[in-house]
Amino acid sequence: MKLSKFLHFFRGPALGNALFVYAAYSFRFVSPLLLYPLLTRRLGTEAFGVYAAAYSMALMLSVVIEFGFTLSGTRDIALARTSETRAQIASKVIIAKIILLPVAALVGAVLISTNPTLNNYIFASAIAIAIGCAQGLSTLWYFQGTQRLKTAFFVEVLGQISALIAIVALVSSSADLETALGLQAAGFALNFALGATLMFRECPFQRTRISDALKVIRQSSLLFLVRASNVIFTTASVFILAGLSNPYQAALYGASERITGAFAALLNPLSALFMPKLVPIADADPRRGLKLALRLLTVVVLIYAVFAAAIFVTAPTLTALAFGSSFSAASSVLQILAINLPIIAANTVINIQILIPLRKDRVMMIVMAAAGAANVLIAIILTPIHGAIGMAVARLATESLILIFYTIYLIFKNQKTKML
């Protein structure tokens, strides 16, 4: 691998963008590790299990409203040549998201009715629906597409910091479960308000017909199915576990997943840094775009293998320090999830940096749909007996199947087109 070519993206202003993005995203890394130890101790295991299940549902609902626009919107904005075109795209996407709000609320109501844990906490579950709606309305995709990275992550971090400070000050016991969720909903609402204000100040809102917004939804449907399928074996895991087992097992998995999830969240800047650059390269020269993405893949997987080894070795100490003695059983869950980190890293890079720039949306949709179905099947078999450990094994098996398929696909693609 020629490192100099890989580092080409980090010359001049790009270096400053890269450093700023990772500095801003470091808060995403630190925030859950600050918030979850606080909540496990102040809420207790059962209330924290409810919190984790409710927040898992919120993340699922955010995908209904986001509807793949984080990927398709970033790609379309990156290719837009004029400010008027960007304004049209932004207006259509925002109207499309507003149309999807009642759909997300209805899906939330159905999910609550089918989950025994959340069905006993209706008010907390209703707040979780609000969290999902506020998250789904995020304008991050626009600023990523225009490479206004400092603006994007300043807006996002500001809401998270505000919510974290308020939770530290106001949440003290299991009776404050709804308060913790409500403050997070307010933080995400602040993110959207600031982001939308800055976005439409830069490109004024364009009058948009409902039919045009519905067309945008149809065009992004494949990427939505990709994201929705991915949610089944990622953010929905705690929700599914709470339904198949009990709040305590959901708490064990939710706490462990937050540690590995914090590392996995560090993959997100890759889309902000590289996808707007790789999209036009892959559009003009697919062979060159694929080669650059594969260099990135190698570097990222090696880094995450080091992360995985460190977490695996220190898992008992990490869980004891972070969540307290009542969460000691989470160390085994954390070790299984740590093994999964390099595989998650590889799948994320292949999705965002290879398949999306090459417009292989249908391939991703088929793979993710099959993976989601496989995950649910494995979880149904394992979690009633093995609880959180069973869910961790299901996640590891699912991500491994995805990587095996992608490897076979890329090898076949290379033999057919000689792109590599």
User: Which token pair is 272?
Assistant: 């902000």
**For the ranges 69-83, 96-110, 400-414, which has the lowest average pLDDT?**
69-83
Report the distance separating Cα 118 and Cα 121, nearest Å: 5
**Count of C-beta atoms within a 10 Å radius of residue 17:** 19
Residue 396: the pLDDT is 93
pLDDT band at residue 297 under the 50/70/90 scheme: confident
Section 179-203 average pLDDT? 89
Interval 390-419: pLDDT, tens: 999 999 999 999 999 988 888 776 666 555
Q: Is the pLDDT of residue 130 over 90?
A: yes
Residue 154: the pLDDT is 78
pLDDT band at residue 420 under the 50/70/90 scheme: very low
pLDDT band at residue 139 under the 50/70/90 scheme: confident
Highest mean pLDDT: which range of 121-130, 261-270, 271-280: 121-130
DSSP state of 175: G
Average pLDDT, the chain: 81
Interval 302-359: pLDDT, tens: 999 999 999 999 999 888 887 877 788 889 999 999 999 999 989 888 877 777 767 7
Burial 368-379 (b: 16+ CB within 10 A, else e): bbebbebbbebb
Query: Higher pLDDT residue, 413 or 2?
Result: 413
Residue 25: the pLDDT is 54
**For the ranges 96-105, 168-177, 273-282, which has the lowest average pLDDT?**
273-282
From residue 28, how far is each of 7, 267, 272, 322 by CA, in Å?
Answer: 25, 11, 15, 16
Section 297-305 average pLDDT? 88
Q: Is the pLDDT of residue 12 over 70?
A: no
